[in-house]
Amino acid sequence: MARRGGALSVSCTSADFQELYARTRNWDAVLKRQLRSQLHAAARPVAMEAKANARALRLPASPPSSRRQEHRSTGLRRGIANGVRVVQRNTVNGVEFRFRASHPISRPTNASDFRHPTFGRRGRGQWVTQLSERWWDLAMYGQNARYMSATRQALLNAIDEV
C-alpha cells in the first residue's frame, strides 16, 4: 500500500488474491458460527429478565374484588416464567432467534389489561377485566444496544478468525 497525493493505492498480485480467496472461502460459516454464539449470549440475560418480570407480575382485579384476598398461589406467574424460551434456528440467510412464551396466558397478560371469563363461565355478564403489566415488552425492548454490540463483536471475531 502506498499513499499518493491523499489517495490510497493498493497493489495486489495474483498470489495475494489467491491467498485472500482461500482464507475467505469459509467466511459464511465462520460468521454464522460467531453470530450464533454472540447473539445467544446476548439473548440469555434478556430471557432471564422476562422470566423475572413474569414472576413479579401483578394482576389486580378491576374493579377490586369485594372478597377477602387470601395469599395463595396458583402457579400462574411461575408457569408464565417457565414458558419463556430462547429458540435458535439456522436459516438460509443466517440465524433466527425467537423468544417464546408458551404459556396460554402469556400474550394476554402482556397488556395493560385483558378480559377473561370468570371461573371459565363464558355466558353473558361473566367476563371481567383484569389489569396487568407489559412484562414481556419491558424485557425485550430497549435491548437493541446489547444486540448491536453482540453483532459487532461477532463480526470482529469472524474477521480475526479468517
How high is the pLDDT of residue 93?
A: 57
Q: What is the pLDDT of residue 92?
A: 61
- How far, CA to CA in Å, does 158 sit from each of 20, 43, 80? 14, 19, 37
The β-bridge relationship of strands 7-9 and 2-4 is antiparallel
Contact by Cβ (8 Å): 102, 120: no
> What is the chain's pLDDT, residue by residue, as a tens digit (162 residues)?
455 566 767 677 888 778 877 878 888 888 888 888 888 888 888 888 888 988 888 877 666 666 666 666 678 888 888 888 887 776 665 556 666 778 888 888 888 888 878 777 777 777 888 888 888 888 888 777 888 898 899 888 888 887
Q: Which residue has the cell 499518493?
A: 4
- Supply the pLDDT for residue 158: 87
- In DSSP terms, 143 is beta-bridged to none
pLDDT value of residue 12: 73
